Amino acid sequence: MKESIEQTRSTMLPYGKQWIDEDDIAAVVQVLQSDFITQGPAIERFERKVADYVGAMYAVAFCNGTAALHGASFAAGIGPGDEVITTPITFLASSNCVLYTGGKPVFADIDSETYNIDPNDIERKITKQTKAIIAVDFTGQPAEIDKIERIARKHNLLVIHDAAHSLGASYENRMVGSYGDMTMFSFHPVKHVTTGEGGVIVTNDAALFERLRLFRNHGMTRDSHNMTRNDGPWYYEMTDLGYNYRMTDMQAALGFSQMDKLDSFIERRRQIAAQYNKALIDMPGLVLPYQHPDTSSSWHLYVVRWDESCFSVGRNQIFNDLRAENIGVNVHYIPVYKQPYYSKLGYEDNQCAEAEVYYNTAISLPIFPLMSEQDQDDVIHAVTKIYNRYRIK
């Protein structure tokens, strides 16, 4: 087959992108014309909508997902001397939130098929200092939360579920967010719905709910039951060291409107993933995403691995060539322990064998609801073109 010399696209196709419509714009304008653009009623309406959707009792909105994870670490009581086990194949915030409260992240390796944290390695990494597990639903496929929760109960640990990738996904027919001690969802523009920046923690625990609310608002309360005295209606007390991590009403209004489209957004992501599977399945050397039979992914990412033994060049050359075709591929993620800051803290490189194999071979293809059929065809064409260029016959 003769390779086409022409570039696949004239403009760059990003790996992810928001979809904002007129209803979303109108919802934000309505807030801008109201009495409250922050600390108003739109926040609670959005929180209630997210909690109801996932089947949780409580939700606490934050200005971004990282702040939400910081809040979860605080609410869990993680502090100096405490260890928290998480995955290295994640964004920095999943482990940084432990550092923020003085704890120590411990990295367990990933499962070679799902790329989620390996429950068996979690158990191997538990010590007397372990306080919690942060399980990440990488690419939108839920981690094996049943096994993780059994391990947590056995060792009296809290489970923080980093579901930044998996709003709308399910495990054993239960919505992500309906289990675990706390679950975080992210609303960054490349996620399933967006508030610009934003995050939320959902929980079924009333005590954790109250600690989260306290933390996002300077550690300040006006609840007379939690104050040492009450000087009058204006009076408030700071009972703990919190932060200003509040979400604005503008963000919440956008998120409330976006939630109405969540199911259709996820269905579109699943259609694109199915189309990629169909087009790429018969290409030896490409490792397509494995789906655990108990999960229903919300497909935040579509990751293809390139078996190094099947190609004449490595992943980096393939990545650069796909970018040259104006396909905005990406790599998710660099193992966290490789970061220079973590090296300064004493973390060793190459400490998780499966994570290293994954990192050296993974490329994320574009997947987002606003993609057209032509966009999908362009991705498939570019992948096929580069595949044929470097495939060892």
Q: Is the same domain home to 115 and 227? A: yes
Considering the domain boundaries, does residue 206 fall inside one? yes
Considering the domain boundaries, does residue 100 fall inside one? yes
Cα gap 272→291, rounded to integer Å: 15
Q: Is the same domain home to 161 and 50? A: yes
pLDDT at residue number 6:
87
* Listed residues 259, 279, 307: the one ending a domain: 259
Q: Is the same domain home to 301 and 364? A: yes
Handedness of CA 198, 182, 244, 231 (dihedral sign): positive
Range of the domain at 371: 262-390
* Rounded to 5°, angle at Cα 216 from 214 and 221: 30
Q: Is the same domain home to 182 and 310? A: no
Count: domains in the chain: 2
* Listed residues 208, 235, 259: the one ending a domain: 259
Q: Which residue has the tokens 């495990």?
A: 171
pLDDT at residue number 2:
45
Q: Is the same domain home to 102 and 71? A: yes
Considering the domain boundaries, does residue 177 fall inside one? yes
Q: Is the same domain home to 68 and 195? A: yes
Note if the bond before 58 is cis, omega within 30 degrees: no
Q: What CATH number should be reported for the domain holding residue 184?
A: 3.40.640.10
Considering the domain boundaries, does residue 2 fall inside one? no
Q: Is the same domain home to 185 and 267? A: no
Q: Does this model's pTM top 0.75?
A: yes
Helix and strand tally (H, E) in the chain? 13, 15
**Which residue type occupies 363?**
I
pLDDT digits (tens, 9 = 90+) for 138-191: 999 999 999 999 999 999 999 999 999 999 999 999 999 998 899 999 999 999
Q: What CATH number should be reported for the domain holding residue 295?
A: 3.90.1150.10
Q: Is 191 a catalytic residue?
A: yes
Q: Is the same domain home to 109 and 187? A: yes
Considering the domain boundaries, does residue 164 fall inside one? yes
pLDDT at residue number 3:
62
Q: Is the same domain home to 104 and 230? A: yes
Q: Is the same domain home to 176 and 119? A: yes
Considering the domain boundaries, does residue 13 fall inside one? no
Considering the domain boundaries, does residue 317 fall inside one? yes
pLDDT at residue number 158:
98
pLDDT at residue number 360:
98
Q: Count the neighbouring beta carbons within 10 Å of the beta carbon of residue 339.
A: 16
Q: Is the same domain home to 32 and 118? A: yes
* Listed residues 239, 259, 279: the one ending a domain: 259
Q: Which portions of the chain are predicted below pLDDT 50?
A: 1-2
User: Which residues does 184 contact at the CB level (< 8 Å), separation at least 6?
Assistant: 65, 68, 69, 72, 160, 161, 162, 163, 164, 199, 200, 201
Considering the domain boundaries, does residue 8 fall inside one? no
Q: Is the same domain home to 324 and 212? A: no
Cα gap 39→246, rounded to integer Å: 8
pLDDT digits (tens, 9 = 90+) for 6-31: 899 999 999 999 999 999 999 999 99
Q: Which residue has the tokens 């014309």?
A: 33
Catalytic residue among 49, 104, 131, 191: 191
